[in-house]
Amino acid sequence: MHGKTILITAGPTYEKIDPVRFIGNYSSGKMGYALAAEAARRGAKVVLVSGPVALPTPEGDIERIDVESAAEMYEATTSRFPEADAAILCAAVADFTPDHTATTKIKRGDDGMVLHLVPTRDIAAALGGMKRDGQTLVGFALETDNELSNALGKMERKRLDMIVLNSLQDPGAGFRTDTNKVTIITHRSQTALALQSKASCACHIVDALASLIHNS
Ligand code: C5P
């Protein structure tokens, strides 16, 4: 992967409700960081756009850009995509964000409260729209039901060249664990891998990406 620039998103996003509260998710960033480590190990220059995680930056030629919200991740990622040969979108981006962030801490009250949420922008779909010949786009799908058909639908809608499906139904797979069980789907093949470390999953995913880049 010498001479290639790989853009990777990782981790969760935090959507601010007030100065001390946010809407987030359980993503640890481990899968995205394992991908960054593997791509760098193979000689790529990595631009790692990271949501809030408790992980050190892996060794190698990795430029890490820390962001918090889906909007910040969108800005960082869309601005750096033109220079990339490929992007791997591994972040668990919030689908909704509060339409308004309170400037002071919201106080306890006797009544219930309603938070009004608005949709965030889909980074993967935006990159799919910007993608030029020779750029390769990889997404992830974490599904709880109709896994394969949902993943294939996302691949079409977001103009992805490859999608990595992980199921929440598999023990040891998904958020926060050090292991994952993934199916790598391209337009030509579907490869279901056994449960293994995220580092080892990253090796298979980067292999599949390298052959797509090589053939593009
Ligand atoms: O539609 P869904 O969120 O399940 O799609 C998952 C894929 O899309 C992942 O690759 C994820 O990183 C990406 N995504 C994104 N921006 C969003 C939502 C999802 O890049 N706002």
pLDDT in tens, 33-70: 999 999 999 999 999 999 999 999 999 999 999 999 99
User: What is the Cα 50 distance to its own chain's centre?
Assistant: 9
| Local confidence band at 115 (pLDDT 50, 70, 90 cut-offs) | very high
**Ligand 1, atom 8: nearest CA belongs to which residue?**
124
Which of 124, 132, 131, 183 lies closest to 154 in space, CA to CA? Answer: 124
Atom of ligand 1 nearest to the CA of 143: 4
Is any ligand 1 atom within 6 A of the Cβ of residue 91? Answer: yes
CA of 87 to the centre of ligand 1 (A): 12
CA–CA dist 6, 81 (Å, integer): 9
Distance CA 138, CA 115 (A): 33
**172 pLDDT above the threshold of 80:** no
Q: CB–CB of 34/202 below 8 Å?
A: yes
Q: Work out the number of other CB atoms within 10 angstroms of the CB of residue 176.
A: 9
Predicted pLDDT of residue 154 = 95
Burial class (CB in 10 A: 0-12, 13-18, 19+), 103: exposed
Mean pLDDT of the chain: 95
Nearest CA to ligand 1 atom 21: 122
- Ligand 1 and 39: CB distance under 6 A: no
25 catalytic, yes or no? yes
Torsion over CA of 163, 164, 170 and 175, rounded to 10 degrees? -110
State the Cα–Cα distance between residues 160 and 209, nearest whole angstrom: 12
Alpha-carbon distance of 154 to 148, in angstroms, equals: 10
pTM listed for this prediction: 0.95
Tell which atom from ligand 1 comes closest to the C-alpha of 122: 21
Q: For residue 135, how far is its CA from the centre of ligand 1 (angstroms)?
A: 18
pLDDT of 28 reads: 94
Pocket perturbation via mutation, ligand 1, pick of 31, 49, 72, 89 by most ligand atoms within 8 A of CB: 89
CA distances from 90 to 30, 55, 159, 197 (A): 10, 15, 15, 16
